């Protein structure tokens, strides 16, 4: 612990919640300073609680980026909501993200009701302030403030970096005193296979988001390091629910699957610090979103 003339070091867990597409993952990445979560303009792309670790001299914030809380329509949806509730019962601070560019809606109110049971202090963040005029942002701050009893209310643009450091300082002040929970060089505790799978899934969603947004899962079947050739071979499967979705992912003459592989490989080479040979195959796993055994197999 620190001496009386020193500011005590603080550390703890901060959960980001918000309806799908509220800017949670982009905010996580801005706070951590590198890409840890899957960022997409499509709702409901974060399916695992990805932790990003923010290191500051005065404290350490371990960010938990949860799937968007929503009214579930499938077993997958129910399991995603369970992930969020488990996470919220075990954190020091909750950040409730409400986007500036969309009016407060039923989704935000649904989350606000869930947060009434949470004991941790709530920081209300109005995200995407770069995407709305100042007047609209001011109105949104007022409207969002009615949703919950917040310890702090902060407008932020994660894309432009506006108020991100201020938010970090406010969060650290709300955390308990304690030593760092993670070593300095660590920015995420995601296992490598899961990160590789997310890179493939993100690249695929960029190409075919209209057709298969939630019917797509990715598993990494094998990762082989070949140090003699400075190469890592990655074999991945893209799982869809229906036969009709397979050609959408393959594209004419394999053009789309090739583009997915090219994009995912760039992220993989950065992550692994090596050249990557990526082998992708598409399989059909019927109605997996409502099948407990299939969900377990896919890691949900």
Lowest mean pLDDT among 80-84, 196-200, 249-253, 260-264: 80-84
Based on the domain organization, do 168 and 61 belong to the same domain? yes
| pLDDT higher than 90, residue 186 | no
Q: What is the mean pLDDT of residues 119-130?
A: 94
Based on the domain organization, do 103 and 153 belong to the same domain? yes
Residue 150 has a pLDDT of 93
H/E element, 236: strand 231-240
29 belongs to a structural domain: yes
| pLDDT higher than 60, residue 176 | yes
Give the CATH number of the domain where residue 23 resides.
3.40.50.300
147 belongs to a structural domain: yes
Contact (CB, 8 A) for 202 and 39:
yes
Residue 95 has a pLDDT of 95
3 belongs to a structural domain: no
Query: pLDDT-derived band of residue 211, with 50, 70 and 90 as boundaries?
Result: low
Domain boundary among 139, 174, 209: 174
Based on the domain organization, do 94 and 153 belong to the same domain? yes
Burial of 34: CB neighbours in 10 Å, binned 0-12, 13-18, 19+: exposed
Q: What is the mean pLDDT of residues 85-108?
A: 88
Domain boundary among 143, 174, 205: 174
Based on the domain organization, do 138 and 264 belong to the same domain? no
187 belongs to a structural domain: no
Relative orientation angle of helices 164-174 and 24-32, to the nearest 10 degrees: 90
| pLDDT higher than 50, residue 46 | no
182 belongs to a structural domain: no
CA angle 128, 131, 132 (to 5 degrees): 105
**Domains in the chain: how many in total?**
2
14 belongs to a structural domain: yes
Rounded Cα distance, 55 and 103, in Å = 34
153 belongs to a structural domain: yes
150 belongs to a structural domain: yes
Contact (CB, 8 A) for 70 and 81:
yes
CA dist list (Å): 65 to 72, 83, 163, 261, 293: 18, 11, 19, 26, 25
Based on the domain organization, do 167 and 201 belong to the same domain? no
| pLDDT higher than 70, residue 34 | no
| pLDDT higher than 60, residue 212 | no
Q: Containing domain of residue 201, as a range?
A: 192-297
Rounded Cα distance, 236 and 61, in Å = 33
| pLDDT higher than 60, residue 289 | yes
Give the CATH number of the domain where residue 207 resides.
3.30.300.20
Residue 82, Cβ neighbours under 10 Å: how many? 12
Residue 48 is classified by DSSP as: S
Residue 109 has a pLDDT of 92
């Amino acid at each position: 612990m620190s001496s009386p003339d020193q500011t005590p070091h603080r550390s703890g867990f901060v959960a980001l919640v918000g309806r799908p597409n509220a800017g949670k993952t982009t905010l996580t990445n801005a706070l951590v300073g590198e890409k840890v979560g899957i960022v997409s303009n499509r709702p409901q792309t974060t399916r695992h609680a990805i932790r990003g670790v923010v290191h500051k001299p005065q404290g350490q914030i371990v960010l938990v980026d949860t799937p968007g809380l929503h009214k579930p329509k499938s077993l997958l949806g129910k399991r995603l909501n369970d992930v969020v509730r488990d996470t919220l019962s075990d954190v020091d601070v909750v950040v409730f993200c409400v986007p500036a560019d969309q009016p407060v809606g039923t989704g935000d109110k649904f989350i606000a009701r869930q947060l009434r049971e949470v004991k941790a202090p709530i920081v209300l963040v109005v995200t995407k302030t770069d995407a709305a005029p100042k007047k609209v942002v001011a109105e949104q701050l007022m409207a969002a403030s009615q949703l919950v009893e917040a310890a702090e209310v902060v407008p932020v643009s994660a894309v432009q970096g506006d108020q991100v450091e201020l938010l970090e300082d406010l969060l650290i002040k709300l955390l308990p005193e304690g030593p760092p929970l993670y070593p300095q060089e660590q920015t995420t505790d995601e296992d490598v296979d899961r990160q590789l799978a997310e890179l493939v899934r993100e690249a695929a969603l960029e190409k075919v988001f209209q057709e298969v947004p939630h019917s797509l899962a990715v598993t990494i079947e094998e990762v082989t390091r070949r140090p003699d050739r400075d190469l890592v071979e990655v074999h991945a499967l893209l799982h869809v629910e229906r036969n009709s979705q397979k050609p959408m992912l393959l594209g004419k003459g394999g053009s789309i699957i090739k583009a997915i592989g090219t994009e995912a490989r760039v992220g993989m080479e950065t992550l692994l610090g090596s050249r990557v040979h990526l082998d992708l195959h598409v399989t059909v796993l019927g109605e997996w979103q409502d099948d407990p055994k299939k969900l377990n197999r896919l890691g949900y």
